[in-house]
Structure 1
């Protein structure tokens, strides 16, 4: 997460360029502003998810599973591959979602070491209850941000 609230001025960036000639002031300035905006959006999303008993990771796991219209779940390894999370964190989070009744984990038919992860009705309902507000939050953030 990016926490720099007071971004450097253009004058400061230009002074750095004098010392570090490879620096592109426009690109650094644009990147810093983009990071700041993303940080603010992430904070709002974290608050939103927390108010619904979710976290960003829990939400992402649910949405990754929900968008697989032609398959009945994914292997746990496939879920992990689609998210930027360590295996131990993924394993703990999947287990917590199972304990809450939002997912099921079953041994894969052909590979007894692999686990098949599926959304339950409760998990899909929880996700679908969160999605309208999630989309509204992003819309409002982007609308506020562009004015």
Structure 2
């Protein structure tokens, strides 16, 4: 998260940029991008919470769903597609299973491994969340916030 509500003045950025040999326009653009991304993440977090999800839980569901030729993935395959530690992934998968959104079953090819698949409830929860998710992303790109927002 980027916590600055008020970005540094152009004068301050210019002074630092000159001191450290960087382009002030690049620094300002990066700061604006970080601020905008932070606001978007907060908006998405609130949206997911209203749908009984978190960003991570949503990402796990969508990663499993986006494999059209497969109905399930191993926890390691899911973890390799999402930037979290294995312990966090394990807890998230257990939570999704406890909530009935995924099933964890022994792999057909490797009995030592498990595979995660969406349940009907998980597929429905994902389908319920996707329209608003895409609406938020679309709105963000169509109406970017002003620099001071």
Deviating 4+ runs (over 4 angstroms): none
Q: Could you tell me how far 1:146 is from its partner in structure 2?
A: 6.9
1:91 aligns with 2:90: yes
Q: Gaps (5+ residues) in structure 1? A: none
Give the corresponding residue for 1:62. Answer: 61
Match of 1:104 in 2: 103
**Aligned match of 1:20:** 20
Q: Does 1:47 align with 2:39?
A: no
Q: TM-score under structure 2 normalisation? A: 0.92
Q: Contact (CA 8 Å) 2:65, 2:71: kept in 1 or not?
A: no
Gaps (5+ residues) in structure 2?
A: none
Q: For residues 36-84 of structure 1, what are the alpha-carbon distances to aligned partners after superposition, in whole Å with 9 as ceiling and x for unaligned?
A: 0000000000000000000000000000011111112111100000000
Greater shift after overlay, 82-91 or 11-20? Answer: 11-20
TM-score normalized by the length of structure 1: 0.94
Q: For residues 105-145 of structure 1, give each alpha carbon's deviation from its aligned partner in whole angstroms, at most 9, with x where no partner exists.
A: 11213323321110011100100011111111222222221
Counterpart position of 2:36: 37
Query: What is the alpha-carbon distance in structure 2 between the residues aligned to residue 27 and residue 145 of structure 1?
Result: 18
Per the alignment, residue 81 of structure 1 pairs with 80
Does structure 1 residue 144 correspond to structure 2 residue 128?
A: no
Please give the alpha-carbon distance, in whole angstroms, between the structure 2 residues aligned to 1:56 and 1:8. 29
Superposed CA RMSD in Å reads 1.4
1:118 partnered with 2:108: no
